[in-house]
Amino acid sequence: MTDNQESIVNKEENLMDESPFLKLKRWQWWLLVAINIFFLIAGQAAAVLLGRFYYDKGGNSKWMATLVQTAGFPVLCIPWFLLHPSREASTSSTSPSIKTLALLYFVLGVLVAGDNMLYSVGLLYLSASTYSLICATQLAFNAVFSYFLNSQKFTALILNSVVILSLSAALIAVNDDSDGPSGVPKGKFLIGFLCTLGASALYSLLLSFMQLSFQKVLKKETFSVVLEMQIYTSVVASCLSTIGLFASGEWKSLQHEMEVFGTGRVSYVLTLVWTAITWQVCAVGVVGLIFVVSSLFSNVISTLSLAVTPLAALVVFHDKMNGVKVIAMLLVLCGFASYIYQNYIDDKKARRLQTHVREIQHTA
């Protein structure tokens, strides 16, 4: 049994024992995967478009752009309370100690805050095309981290998917017609390049750490646990971003930003609010795919959104769609289908093996 098949068997057993979605069947598992994929792609595409709208209309605070990526965590409290396990279940012997959880969420929160800040600085000093091209390297970083931290093995179909999706992202990046920031010196350009490259590596490391946390520390994989991780890490990251906002003095310019914002004061506030909400929707999809499938799969879908975002920009900002972008979209579909098919094969084999094991146990 391969690691992917064993992961699927273990996930089904955990979900049947602890999840509110009891006794998941195959179509229910795939439905859960599809929902998380939608959350990730739709949330990230909307958040990126809103972030571009913020900068285009006069916003320029790096710390504010960092803060809104995690500040929407209160929205997640509603489903978390609804799905939170009972007191008896939450105090079981398999649950980690409060000290362990606090340390885990603090470390993850620091990584999230640092990663968000690196992305904000990178986007400030790089053109959109260069920024997107460097972000595509996260798949390569994730392949390395998943191999060492999560024992992730790669089949021909998975490698094919990674290569095709990376190529698609590269095509979109080099074909981006938007102009980069003007007047950026080479020194700051290098800073932006290194920050974006470091952010891509840190993001991949964060995904692998999250998957490792589910396997080794939390030892239970329910949607309430996913929400709990997202809420507490977002609290830490938001506190650190708020400290940075005040320590840097950027908070003094926020009033001026609101007054000169291109579409008005109300639009300024709504832009920040909805950016925060959409980033949380995206984050739920990211973490959800980590515990349902793997960190590599979550990263592949994140890369897929690099191709979906231009389609959203075509509708929202009326960007033009040329032949190169159409080819990139087709490549994305091929790469995505390749990875989905590999997971389908693993799922089918794992469930056959599980059925065989249960028959043997029943006979014994």
pLDDT digit string (tens) for 282-302? Answer: 888 877 787 677 666 776 787
Amino acid in position 362: H
Q: Give dist(CA 199, CA 116) in Å, integer.
A: 8
* Average pLDDT rounded to a whole number, residues 219-230: 74
- Between 63-77, 267-281, 344-358, the lowest mean confidence (pLDDT) is in 344-358
The pLDDT, as a whole number, for residue 321 is: 62
Residue 118 or residue 204, greater confidence: 118
> Tokens representing 233?
């890490």
Q: Give dist(CA 66, CA 128) in Å, integer.
A: 17
**Please, which pLDDT band fits residue 244 given cuts at 50, 70 and 90?**
very high
* Average pLDDT rounded to a whole number, residues 166-193: 66
Q: Are 81 and 285 in contact (CB under 8 A)?
A: no
Amino acid in position 211: Q
Percent of the chain with pLDDT over 70: 73
Nearest to 36 by CA among 209, 221, 160, 204: 221
Q: Give dist(CA 152, CA 146) in Å, integer.
A: 5
**Please, which pLDDT band fits residue 172 given cuts at 50, 70 and 90?**
low
Q: Would you call 70 helix, strand, or coil by DSSP? A: coil
- pLDDT > 60? residue 361: yes
Q: Are 1 and 254 in contact (CB under 8 A)?
A: no
Angle at 180 between CA 175 and CA 183, to 5 degrees: 150
> Tokens representing 73?
């965590």
Q: Are 281 and 42 in contact (CB under 8 A)?
A: yes
Residue 238 or residue 230, greater confidence: 238
**Please, which pLDDT band fits residue 86 given cuts at 50, 70 and 90?**
very low
The pLDDT, as a whole number, for residue 74 is: 86
The pLDDT, as a whole number, for residue 18 is: 42
**Range picked from 46-50, 190-194, 241-245, 359-363 for highest mean pLDDT:** 241-245
The pLDDT, as a whole number, for residue 240 is: 95
Q: Would you call 132 helix, strand, or coil by DSSP? A: helix
- pLDDT > 80? residue 220: no
**Please, which pLDDT band fits residue 174 given cuts at 50, 70 and 90?**
low
The pLDDT, as a whole number, for residue 110 is: 94
Q: Give dist(CA 12, CA 263) in Å, integer.
A: 49
* Average pLDDT rounded to a whole number, residues 184-200: 80
DSSP tag of 317: S
Q: Give dist(CA 115, CA 233) in Å, integer.
A: 13
Residue 81 or residue 62, greater confidence: 62
The pLDDT, as a whole number, for residue 264 is: 86
Nearest to 192 by CA among 234, 257, 133: 133
Torsion of CA 139, 136, 342, 226, to 10 degrees: 70
Among all chains, which residue has been given the structure tokens 């790469």?
A: 335
User: What residues contact 69, with CB distance under 8 A and at least 6 apart?
Assistant: 47, 116, 237, 275, 276, 279
- The stretches of the chain forming alpha helices (DSSP H) are 3-18, 26-56, 62-67, 77-83, 87-90, 98-125, 128-135, 138-149, 156-174, 186-213, 223-248, 254-260, 265-292, 295-316, 323-363
Q: Are 136 and 169 in contact (CB under 8 A)?
A: yes
